[in-house]
Amino acid sequence: MKSILRAAAVAAPLTLALGAVAAPAQASPQAPATAAAAPAPGVPAFDFAKDCPPLPAGIDPTLGLCMQMVVTGGSMKLGGLSQTITQPMRITVQSVQADASSNSEFTSVTLTGKPMTIPGGVLGLLGLNVPGLDGLPFNKVQVQPKYTGGFTFNLPNAGLEMKIKIINDAVGKGCSIGSKKDPVKLNLGVDLGQISVVDEGDPADSFHHPPVLHTPAADTTFAVPKTDGCGLFGPVIDWKAGLPSASGNNAASFDTYLALAPYAPWPTASVQRKAAQDPVQQLRNLHITG
């Protein structure tokens, strides 16, 4: 009975995130000669020289793009479970074009972010929240989003496929909500009228000082699959979390900062120069597929 109670709680707010992994770490592009100004309070820092992977061999750097999205707040509801975002999640996307008139295709998608701790752990999820016990073995519950391989970007929508890893001593290392074969498929909608420019960046060297934008993003149409790799605890977690959960019963709302830039400055023709200096229009013109 104790094992079932522990497992039941494990499933709850695992809902926390958006997430993903992908290409292995590679050497970084050359660092800038001068550091960019520190971001305003509450705005995440963007270091493309450190975080963006090198381009594949033979790619024109003016046709290669790095984009980062940082979710700094918001919430998710998965079936009967609700949780706020408590740790920033950074998604880094590298994409390339065959030529200047083609859509981009992603070559790398990664997500970095610390696991998110569920307040009260297992006991808290059972309504027995005792202060100071969150970190006890078997009581501590964390969740962490993991990328499963699908990404698209075509405003006003951005698609991301993920699973949510469940971290608890009782369930082992392979337990998650969703899986690579049956992921949570977010189709986040962006209100184009709410996109704002936080930092216009440096058009002459946007890779080392990219423009930064802020926008909310949300989805209420996605379905949530049942757990995977949780063994005997799976059915109990599914029962506790109300999984699988059909479209219309779930919601995601993210407070997102976004930055993007080509690996090398675009040619200075007037139309290209205007696009490079208008980060909102640049974002709206961006189309990334798999």
Instruction: Take residue 55 and report the two structure tokens written for it.
Output: 């381009």
Torsion of CA 148, 167, 80, 238, to 10 degrees: 80
Residue 59 CB-density burial (10 A; 0-12 exposed, 13-18 middle, 19+ buried)? middle
Type of residue numbered 61: P
Q: Is the separation of the CB atoms in 28 and 207 below 8 Å?
A: no
Tens of pLDDT, residue by residue, the chain (290 residues):
344 334 444 443 333 333 333 333 333 344 344 445 566 778 899 999 999 999 999 889 989 999 999 999 999 898 877 778 999 999 999 999 888 888 889 999 998 888 888 776 666 555 566 666 666 677 787 889 999 989 999 999 999 999 999 888 888 889 999 999 999 999 999 999 999 999 988 888 888 999 999 999 999 999 999 999 998 888 888 887 889 999 999 999 999 999 998 998 876 544 454 455 578 888 888 888 87
Q: Where are the domains of the chain?
A: 2-289
Cα→Cα distances 100→29, 64, 89, 267, 287, Å: 22, 10, 31, 11, 12
